[in-house]
C-alpha cells in the first residue's frame, strides 16, 4: 500500500561569518537569513538553486590597534569605502550558495516546493565574527511509504510509537520524514564561488586517497555529535537490495570531525517497552570529490550531519585562519563528482531484533556493527539507532 | 598705494614701471614684488626667518630687499611694505632628494621658537574635535548628511589614532616655521634653487611638512619620498618624536574639518559635488601618505632597534 502526503527535508546550518578588519561590530542591530532561490526542472530532477542571503545592520566599532607596527595602526578607509546606511549603520550582506537536487518523482507539484528558514539564531563570539545557526527546510516533497513484507508494521502501532518513543535529540531534524526516508532519494549541496586553493586541494586529495584506500572512512553527522569509523573491508559493504531510496547528503570530504567521548552518538536504548517501531534507513552519502565549481577551503556543518563536531573543527581552524573560516556553510554541502562514495544507513532496532539479525540482513559482520556503533556489548535494545555502513555504487546515487 | 617715485627713491632704482599696479614692479634691476603687511611683528619675524633660512640652508629665498638706507621694511598708509625679487620659474625636484631633503631638514630645524607674534597652531582650537563628536544624522537625513556622517565616523577613528600616537610621542617642542602650502614655492633662478616664503603667520607643528610630503609622494612616488625622508632625517630627526608627531599630523582629518566648514552653508548640489571631490582627493592623498610614512617609520624603527 502506498500513500502520499506532503513532507519536507530539514537541515541545519552553523556558520561563521568574519567581517573585514576595521568593520568590526560594536552592536548588532538586526540580522536576517532569507532564501533567494530558483526552482528548475530538468531530466527528471528538480534543481533548487540560489542562496541563503544573510543581511543585517550593525553599529561599527571604532577600534584602536595595539600593534607596535605603525602600518597596522594607522590604516584608514578611503572615502569610497566609507559606506554607511541611513543611520550611520554598517550593513552586513553575505550570500551562502545553495544547490538542492530532488528527483522529480518525489514532488507532486513544483508550486508546492518551498525553501524556508524555520529557525535562526546568532552569536557574536568576537566583534569581527558572527556565528549563526539556522534550520532550513525544503517543503513540498512527496511523502511516500510502501509497505514491505519484511518491514510490516501496524500503522496504529506506529502512531502510538511516536507517543511512546522518545527520539534521540539528534533525530529531531528528521521529525517529519522519519518514515519516508526509506523511499527518498535526493541530495542537496551548496557550492562555493571561488576556486579552491592549492593547499585545500592537496588536503582534499589526501582525503580522497584515504577514502578510496583500504581504510574507508564514514562520517556520521548528528545534532550533537559526529563520529567517524574506519572500515577495512569495503567489499562487505554491499549495496542493500531494498526498495528504499537513500537520502544523500553530498558533503565535503574535508570535513573530518574528531570523535569526542562526550559527544559520541552512542545509540541510546529506549527504556520503556514500546510497540513496534518504524524502521528508518536513510542513507547518507559522501562524495569524495568536489564539484568543479566548488571550493572547499571551508568547513561546514550540517545539523543532521554532526554540526557540533564540525563546529569545533571549525572553531579550531578559525583561530588559525580567518580566510578559511569565512564561508563554512557551503563546504558541508559541496557536491562531488560521486564516482565513488560510501553511504551510511540508520536503522532503528525493532522488537525482537538482535545484532546478528541486523548484521545478517545488511550482510555485514556483527563486529563491524559493534565497531561502527561503538557498542560496549553485543546487545541492542528496541528503538536503538544503529548506523549501517554500505558501499554505494555510482548508479545508485540520486 | 605707494607711488613709483617714492619706491625709486627708497630703493635707488633709475627706471621702474608697474607690471601689476601696487604689486609687481619692473625695474632695471629686475622684476620686484611688493608685499603688504598689516602686523609689524609678523613682518619682523619673517625678516628674521628668511635671513636665518638663507644663512642656514645656503639657498636663495625671497628675502626683503634693503632700501638705500639699509631698511628692510618701509611704512605706508596701509601698513608695512617689503620688496622682493620676483622669480616665477618653477624648480624641478626630480632626482634632487638629497639637496631638497637637506633644505627641508634645515627648514624645520631652524629653531626660531621665540615668536613675538601670533602663531598658527591648528590644535589650539577644538573645532575639529567638536565636529567629530556630533552626529550629522537626523530623522530625515539627506544623502549628503549620510555621506558626511560616514566620513565623520572614519575621521573620528583617524583623530583618535592620531591623538594616541601624539600622546605616546610626548609633548616635546614642535617646530615653528613659515607656512608651506606647496612645493611650487620652490623656484629656480640662474639654475639655483630659490625658495619663496609665504607671508602667513608662523606655523607651529608639522602641517607644512605634511604638505611637502603629500605633494612629493604624489609627484615622485614612494621610493623618492623615502629618499627625501632619509635626507630630512639627517637634519631633522624623524626617527624620534618628530616622526611620530608628523605621522599624527598626517592622520588628523583636517580635510574633514575643511569640508564641513566650507559646505555648511552650501545648498547648491554642483558646489557640494566640487567640495566632495576635493575632500575625496585630499582624503586619499592623506591615506597614501600615512601609509607610506608608516612604512618608512616601521623600517626606521627596525634599524634603530637592530
- The closest CB to that of B164, out of A60, A62, A64, belongs to A64
Q: What is the pLDDT of residues B10-64, one digit of tens each?
A: 999 999 999 999 999 999 999 999 999 999 999 999 999 999 999 999 999 999 9
Among chain B, residues having any CB pair with chain A shorter than 8 Å are 135, 137, 141, 146, 149-151, 153-154, 156-158, 160-161, 164-165, 247, 251, 279-280, 283-284, 287, 290-291, 293-295, 297-298, 301
- The closest CB to that of A76, out of B141, B146, B154, belongs to B154
Confidence of residue A63 (pLDDT cuts 50, 70, 90): low
Determine, for residues B154 and A70 on separate chains, whether the beta-carbon distance falls below 8 Å: no
Residue B249 C-alpha, separation from nearest chain A C-alpha, in angstroms? 12
pLDDT for res A143: 65
Residue B212 C-alpha, separation from nearest chain A C-alpha, in angstroms? 20
- The closest CB to that of B150, out of A64, A73, A88, belongs to A88
Strongest mean pLDDT among A40-49, A310-319, B55-64, B161-170: B55-64
pLDDT for res A163: 36
Determine, for residues A76 and B297 on separate chains, whether the beta-carbon distance falls below 8 Å: no
| Residue B117 CA from chain centroid, whole number | 18
ipTM of this complex: 0.77
Give burial (CB, 10 Å; 0-12/13-18/19+) of B224.
Answer: middle
Question: What does the mean pLDDT of chain B come to?
Answer: 92
Sequence-distant (≥ 6) Cβ neighbours of residue A222 within 8 angstroms: A170, A171, A265, A304, A305, A306, A308
Q: What is the pLDDT of residues B201-215, one digit of tens each?
A: 999 999 999 999 999
CB contacts, 8 Å: A63 with chain B: 157
Determine, for residues B160 and A79 on separate chains, whether the beta-carbon distance falls below 8 Å: no
Count of CB pairs separated by less than 8 Å, A with B: 76
In terms of CA atoms, which chain B residue is nearest residue A75?
A: B291
A99 close to A335: Cβ distance less than 8 angstroms: yes
* Share of residues in chain A with pLDDT > 70 (%): 40
Q: Please give the radius of gyration of chain B, using alpha carbons only, rounded to the nearest integer.
A: 22
Determine, for residues A74 and B284 on separate chains, whether the beta-carbon distance falls below 8 Å: no
DSSP structure string for B127-140? HHHHHHHS----TT
Q: Report helix, strand and coil shares of chain A as percent, to nearest 5.
A: 25, 35, 40
Average pLDDT in the A366-376 region?
79
In this structure, of A261-275, B220-234, B278-292, the range with the lowest mean pLDDT score is: A261-275
CB contacts, 8 Å: A61 with chain B: none
pLDDT at residue A77 is higher than 50: yes
CB contacts, 8 Å: B283 with chain A: 78-79
DSSP structure string for B14-61? SSEEEEETTTEEEETTEEEEEEEES-HHHHHHHHHHHHHHHHHH--EE
CB contacts, 8 Å: B158 with chain A: 76
pLDDT at residue B92 is higher than 90: yes
DSSP H/E element including B153: helix B143-169
In this structure, of A141-150, A254-263, B2-11, the range with the lowest mean pLDDT score is: A254-263
- The closest CB to that of A88, out of B149, B247, B297, belongs to B149
CB contacts, 8 Å: A73 with chain B: 161, 165, 294
Determine, for residues A79 and B280 on separate chains, whether the beta-carbon distance falls below 8 Å: yes
- Domains in chain B with CATH codes: 4-85 (3.30.200.20), 97-186+199-305 (3.90.1200)
Cα separation, A365 vs A356, whole angstroms: 8
Residue A88 C-alpha, separation from nearest chain B C-alpha, in angstroms? 6
Q: How many CB atoms lie within 10 A of CB B69?
A: 8
Amino acid at each position: 500500500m502506498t500513500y502520499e502526503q506532503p513532507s519536507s527535508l530539514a537541515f541545519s546550518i552553523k556558520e561563521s561569518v568574519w567581517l573585514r578588519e576595521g568593520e568590526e561590530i560594536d552592536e548588532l542591530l538586526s540580522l536576517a537569513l532569507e532564501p533567494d532561490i530558483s526552482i528548475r526542472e530538468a531530466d527528471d530532477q528538480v534543481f533548487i538553486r540560489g542562496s541563503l542571503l544573510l543581511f543585517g545592520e550593525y553599529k561599527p566599532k571604532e577600534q584602536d590597534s595595539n600593534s607596535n607596527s605603525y602600518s597596522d595602526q594607522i590604516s584608514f578607509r578611503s572615502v569610497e569605502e566609507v559606506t554607511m546606511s541611513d543611520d550611520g549603520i554598517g550593513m552586513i550582506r553575505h550570500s551562502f550558495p545553495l544547490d538542492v537536487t530532488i528527483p522529480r518523482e518525489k514532488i507532486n507539484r513544483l508550486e508546492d516546493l518551498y525553501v524556508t528558514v524555520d529557525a535562526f539564531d546568532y552569536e557574536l563570539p568576537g566583534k569581527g565574527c558572527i556565528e549563526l545557526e539556522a534550520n532550513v527546510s525544503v517543503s513540498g516533497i512527496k511523502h511516500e511509504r510502501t509497505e514491505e513484507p519484511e518491514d510490516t508494521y501496524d500503522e496504529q502501532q506506529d502512531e502510538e510509537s511516536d507517543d511512546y518513543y522518545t527520539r534521540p535529540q539528534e533525530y529531531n531534524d528528521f521529525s517529519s520524514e522519519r518514515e519516508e526516508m526509506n523511499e527518498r532519494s535526493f541530495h542537496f549541496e551548496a557550492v562555493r564561488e571561488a576556486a579552491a586553493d592549492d593547499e585545500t586541494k592537496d588536503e582534499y586529495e589526501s582525503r580522497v586517497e584515504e577514502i578510496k584506500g583500504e581504510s574507508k572512512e564514514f562520517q556520521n553527522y548528528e545534532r550533537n555529535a559526529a563520529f567517524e569509523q574506519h572500515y577495512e573491508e569495503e567489499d562487505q559493504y554491499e549495496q542493500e537490495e531494498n526498495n528504499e531510496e537513500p537520502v544523500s547528503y553530498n558533503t565535503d570530504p574535508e570535513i573530518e570531525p574528531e570523535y569526542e567521548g562526550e559527544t559520541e552518538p552512542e545509540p541510546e536504548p529506549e527504556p520503556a517497552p514500546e510497540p513496534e517501531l518504524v524502521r528508518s534507513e536513510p542513507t547518507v552519502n559522501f562524495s569524495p570529490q568536489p564539484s568543479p565549481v566548488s571550493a572547499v577551503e571551508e568547513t561546514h556543518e550540517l545539523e543532521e550531519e554532526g554540526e557540533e563536531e564540525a563546529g569545533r573543527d571549525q572553531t579550531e581552524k578559525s583561530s588559525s585562519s580567518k580566510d578559511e573560516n569565512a564561508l563554512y556553510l557551503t563546504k558541508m554541502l559541496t557536491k562531488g563528482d560521486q564516482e565513488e562514495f560510501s553511504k551510511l544507513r540508520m536503522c532503528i532496532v525493532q522488537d525482537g531484533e538482535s545484532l546478528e539479525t541486523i548484521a545478517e540482513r545488511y550482510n555485514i559482520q556483527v563486529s563491524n556493527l559493534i565497531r561502527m556503533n561503538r557498542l560496549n556489548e553485543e546487545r541492542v535494545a528496541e528503538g536503538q539507532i544503529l548506523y549501517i555502513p554500505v558501499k554505494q555504487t555510482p548508479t545508485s546515487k540520486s | 598705494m605707494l607711488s613709483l617715485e617714492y619706491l625709486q627713491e627708497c630703493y635707488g632704482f633709475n627706471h621702474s614701471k608697474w607690471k601689476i599696479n601696487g604689486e609687481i614692479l619692473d625695474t632695471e634691476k629686475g622684476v620686484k614684488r611688493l608685499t603688504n603687511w598689516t602686523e609689524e611683528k609678523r613682518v619682523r619675524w619673517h625678516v628674521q626667518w628668511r635671513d636665518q633660512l638663507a644663512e642656514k640652508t645656503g639657498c636663495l629665498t625671497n628675502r626683503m630687499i634693503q632700501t638705500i638706507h639699509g631698511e628692510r621694511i618701509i611704512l605706508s598708509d596701509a601698513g608695512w611694505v617689503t620688496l622682493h625679487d620676483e622669480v616665477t620659474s618653477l624648480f624641478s625636484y626630480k632626482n634632487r632628494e638629497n639637496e631638497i631633503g637637506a633644505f627641508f631638514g634645515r627648514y624645520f630645524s631652524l629653531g626660531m621658537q621665540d615668536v613675538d607674534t601670533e602663531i598658527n597652531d591648528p590644535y589650539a582650537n577644538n573645532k575639529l574635535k567638536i565636529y567629530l563628536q556630533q552626529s550629522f544624522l537626523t530623522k530625515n537625513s539627506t544623502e549628503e548628511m549620510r555621506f558626511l556622517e560616514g566620513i565623520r565616523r572614519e575621521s573620528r577613528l583617524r583623530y583618535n589614532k592620531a591623538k594616541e600616537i601624539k600622546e605616546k610621542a610626548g609633548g616635546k617642542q614642535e617646530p615653528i616655521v613659515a607656512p608651506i602650502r606647496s612645493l611650487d614655492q620652490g623656484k629656480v633662478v640662474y639654475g639655483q634653487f630659490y625658495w619663496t616664503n609665504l607671508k602667513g603667520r608662523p606655523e607651529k607643528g608639522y602641517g607644512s611638512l605634511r604638505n611637502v610630503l603629500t605633494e612629493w609622494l604624489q609627484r615622485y612616488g614612494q621610493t623618492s619620498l623615502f629618499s627625501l625622508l632619509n635626507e630630512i632625517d639627517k637634519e631633522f630627526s624623524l626617527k624620534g618624536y618628530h616622526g611620530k608627531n608628523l605621522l599624527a599630523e598626517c592622520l588628523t582629518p583636517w580635510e574633514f574639518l575643511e569640508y564641513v566648514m566650507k559646505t555648511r552653508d552650501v545648498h547648491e548640489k554642483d558646489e557640494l559635488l566640487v567640495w566632495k571631490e576635493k575632500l575625496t582627493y585630499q582624503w586619499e592623498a592623506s591615506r597614501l601618505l600615512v601609509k607610506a610614512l608608516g612604512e618608512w617609520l616601521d623600517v626606521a624603527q627596525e634599524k634603530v632597534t637592530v
